[in-house]
Amino acid sequence: MKAIVTGTTGQDGYYLSKQLLQNGYEVHGLVRRSSNINTFRIDPLISEYGPEGKFKLYYSDLIDSSSITNLINNIQPDEIYNLAAQSHVAVSFKNPIYSTHTSTTGTVTILESIRNGNKDIKFYQASSSEMFGGEKEEKLNEKSKLNPKSPYAAAKVFCHDMTKIYREAYGIFAVNGILFNHESPVRGETFVTRKITQAVGRIHLGLQSKLTLGNLDASRDWGFAGDYTKGMYLMMQHSEPDDWVLATGETHTVKEFASKAFESVGLNWEEFVETSDKYKRPNEVNHLLGDPEKAKNELGWVAETSFDDLVKMMVESDIESAEREKVLLENKLIKPTWEYHT
Ligand code: NAP
Ligand code: GDD
């Protein structure tokens, strides 16, 4: 089996590529060119499976339609997982055209290539719980109303609808995975969970003194990314294409996440966390809670990792990272610039 994975250098791209390779797939990953090599997450997979083996990488970009179409025509994959996106909601308010353009152009380009080329290629679209808008405290499922609140979410709604349209109009096996927030030790450092666990690691080792966050009252249904990429694969093996929600069915506030993370190293979060409007959004999604019943019944999928285990896994990994940073700092090989980056 051959799969193309867009966004292979991202969090989900790493877990999904790893699981597909372990299942014997040939994985063709798209990497966008940057001035620094940005394959740090997938470097272990490159060492184990590529580049002459089953893990092949290509420079491409969602906006470069011709390169994507050429790759699909040349590779003739069985499955395409479209994970690439400018995935940071707050950044999408600052870069709305780029954020919208990448998601929408990339998705339609792939769907058009399948329609005009080989209609047997299966397509997975990375849809998001962010599309619901999360105004009320309610369980959200595949039938819940979409009410996007950011350029990111509006672009995802467009891609979600186009995936459904290509499924219905052309009989393409095109699925939407409506995934609630999922995190891991390789989560991007400016998403709130990783920002917290990285700070906990550094504060625990005396490398950082304060953590500045935005809205502490927002709540999210947080699961472990490695569980969710298994769900993506199961959707693509289902007899009929459809849309499925993946979630834990539990929600926690940012404050609860921070409290649990600091508590795990014996610290009281209130002594270290301050807030700033800088990290608040022009339009906030206040509350997200998913109902994963359909995925459980039809795919046999459940989120296996508990909230407590997720926090623990991320904090432990970030303590190890902080220990490495401490050695580099002591030897004057790096400077602590993290306050500027988040
Ligand atoms: P991520 O870590 O931010 O990864 C995004 C990937 O997209 C990276 O590989 C990135 O490349 C790539 N990318 C960005 N712009 C691109 C462009 N113009 N052309 C080609 N590639 C581009 O995100 P993630 O957490 O793995 O999420 C994967 C997908 O699921 C995203 O579409 C996200 O919106 C969606 N999603 C995520 C969650 C979640 O909680 N994680 C929930 C629902 C939906 P670089 O490595 O070079 O930046
Ligand atoms: N990033 C960030 N940084 N968020 C903060 C901070 C902060 O300092 N302080 C509070 N928050 C709040 C945000 O306002 C939001 O309500 C919540 O923490 C979660 O923010 P993020 O971790 O940035 O994730 P997100 O929920 O906006 O988006 C993620 O999940 C979506 C699925 O619901 C991303 O992965 C999206 O790509 C994904 O679609």
Per-residue pLDDT of the chain (342 residues; tens, 9 = 90+): 999 999 999 999 999 999 999 999 999 999 999 999 999 999 999 999 987 899 999 999 999 999 999 999 999 999 999 999 999 999 999 999 999 999 999 999 999 999 999 999 999 999 999 999 999 889 999 999 999 999 999 999 999 999 999 999 999 999 999 999 999 999 999 999 999 999 999 999 999 999 999 999 999 999 999 999 999 999 999 999 999 999 999 999 999 999 999 999 999 999 999 999 999 999 999 999 999 999 999 999 999 999 999 999 999 999 999 999 999 999 989 888 877 766
Tell me the residue type at 123. Answer: F
Distance CA 330, CA 101 (A): 43
CA 87–ligand 1 middle distance (angstroms): 5
Distance CA 179, CA 164 (A): 16
Distance CA 211, CA 199 (A): 6
Widest distance between CA atoms in the chain: 61
Out of 26, 79, 130, 183, which one is annotated catalytic?
A: 130
Alpha helices in 135-277 (DSSP H): 151-170, 192-204, 225-237, 254-263
Examine residue 336 and say whether the peptide bond preceding it is cis (omega within 30 degrees of 0).
no
CA 265–ligand 1 middle distance (angstroms): 30
**Atom in ligand 2 nearest the alpha carbon of residue 193:** 22
Tell me the residue type at 265. Answer: V
Q: What is the dihedral of CA 62, 64, 65, 66, to 10 degrees?
A: -140
